[in-house]
């Protein structure tokens, strides 16, 4: 996914709406009518609702007032059509490898957008690779300068929950540092305009949770990690949709791939999402496994919500490391990078 997006002007609001509409349609491509999935989309709509009529547009998609033809008609430029397709692939792969219904939707979408075989295949290859990477592969993110302090040293209180009962295989300070480094890496990915960068955030979060569980003696599979995140109220598809929405609203998809052009400055105000969610997920997972996995779903959800608020206050402290990391990431090697983290 190395699309070169327009640099002469940002997308207009109708184009933003069209791309987000296609992403929402992709979220429902698997035929699921589950209330939880609809609730997650509504939550995303509420989060983005402060931006004009974005919330109304999302509601129109759910009520079938907006369809694929409406969205494609508003995307005449090849670059925007390619971007819409890449983001739809990311939505379908967010919670794991796409199923038959999602594959069918993407095939129909590629034809409707007029994409060639290679333009349609390349995003699928990257998406499949990210969605199927083994959790245990690779090393941890490299330590960033100033990123080794435990939460207590940063002024944030330890997250609530059961008293720590298990002794980890390594010092808790090292686990805290690992969590911060994953958060910095994901915060950096959020600042990049490439769709591949957005797709890499969730696999990295899952790898982090896997490593935390292993530190406390638990061997986890992908399903367990996904269920734990869902119990915290973090829907993977919804998280990816929210990432798309914020990047569209912030104009980060309106720049050429591989160039910042002020992206770090514009992205910094909304960057807290991926940094904060990753840090909060890591801290709650640490508390959960250290306490013997006895936290109920409601306690997990409440603890995550409280910890997320603490995490957002940390973004300014780590912003220099996040920006530096964003400048050094090799976008063309993102899949390999995630494999090796």
Condensed to tens digits (0 to 9), the pLDDT of residues 170-196 reads: 888 899 999 999 999 999 998 888 888
Report which of residues 245 and 71 the model is more confident about.
71
* pTM of the model as a whole: 0.84
Mean pLDDT, residues 306-317 taken together = 87
Mean per-residue pLDDT, 298-305 = 92
Q: Identify whether the C-beta of residue 85 lies closer than 8 Å to the C-beta of residue 110.
A: yes
Region 193-215: what's the mean pLDDT? Answer: 91
The per-residue pLDDT for range 9-47, each reduced to its tens digit, is: 457 878 888 888 898 899 888 776 555 566 666 666 666
Mean of per-residue pLDDT scores for the chain = 80
pLDDT digits (tens, 9 = 90+) for 93-117: 988 888 899 999 999 999 999 999 9
Q: Which residue has the tokens 């206050």?
A: 313
Looking at per-residue pLDDT, the higher value among 61 and 181 belongs to 181
pLDDT band at residue 140 under the 50/70/90 scheme: confident
Query: What is the predicted pLDDT for the residue at 236?
Result: 87
- The rounded distance, in Å, linking the Cα atoms of 325 and 341 is 14
Distances 1 to 56, 239, 263, 318, 334 between C-alpha atoms, Å: 30, 20, 19, 28, 10
3-state helix, strand and coil shares in percent for the chain, rounded to the nearest 5: 65, 0, 35
Give the pLDDT of residue 255: 47
- What are the E-state strand segments in the chain? none
Q: How far, rounded to the nearest angstrom, does the alpha carbon of residue 114 sit from its chain's CA centroid?
A: 27
């Amino acid at each position: 996914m190395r699309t070169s997006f327009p640099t002469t002007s940002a997308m207009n609001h109708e184009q933003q709406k069209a791309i987000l509409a296609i992403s929402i349609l992709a979220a429902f491509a698997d035929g699921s009518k589950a209330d939880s999935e609809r609730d997650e989309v509504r939550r995303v709509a509420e989060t983005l609702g402060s931006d004009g009529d974005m919330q109304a547009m999302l509601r129109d998609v759910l009520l079938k007032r907006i369809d694929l033809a409406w969205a494609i008609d508003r995307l005449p430029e090849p670059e925007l059509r390619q971007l819409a397709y890449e983001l739809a692939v990311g939505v379908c792969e967010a919670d794991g490898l796409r199923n038959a219904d999602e594959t069918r939707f993407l095939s129909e979408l590629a034809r409707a957008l007029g994409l060639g075989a290679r333009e349609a295949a390349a995003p699928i290859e990257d998406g499949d690779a990210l969605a199927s990477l083994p959790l245990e592969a690779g090393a941890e993110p490299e330590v960033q300068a100033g990123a080794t302090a435990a939460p207590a040293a940063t002024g944030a209180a330890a997250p609530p929950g059961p008293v720590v009962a298990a002794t980890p295989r390594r010092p808790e300070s090292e686990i805290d540092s690992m969590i911060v480094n994953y958060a910095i890496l994901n915060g950096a990915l959020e600042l990049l305009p490439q769709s591949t960068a957005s797709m890499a955030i969730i696999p990295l979060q899952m790898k982090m949770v896997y490593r935390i569980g292993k530190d406390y003696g638990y061997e986890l599979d992908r399903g367990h990690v996904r269920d734990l995140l869902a119990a915290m109220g973090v829907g993977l598809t919804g998280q990816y949709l929210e990432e798309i929405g914020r990047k569209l609203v912030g104009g980060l998809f309106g720049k050429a791939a591989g160039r910042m052009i002020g992206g770090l400055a514009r992205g910094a105000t909304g960057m807290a999402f991926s940094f904060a969610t990753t840090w909060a997920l890591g801290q709650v997972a640490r508390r959960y496994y250290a306490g013997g996995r006895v936290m109920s779903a409601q306690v997990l959800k409440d603890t995550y919500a409280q910890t997320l608020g603490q995490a957002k206050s940390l973004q300014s402290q780590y912003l220099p490391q996040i920006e530096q990391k964003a400048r050094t990431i090799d976008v063309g090697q993102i899949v390999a990078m995630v494999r090796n983290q």
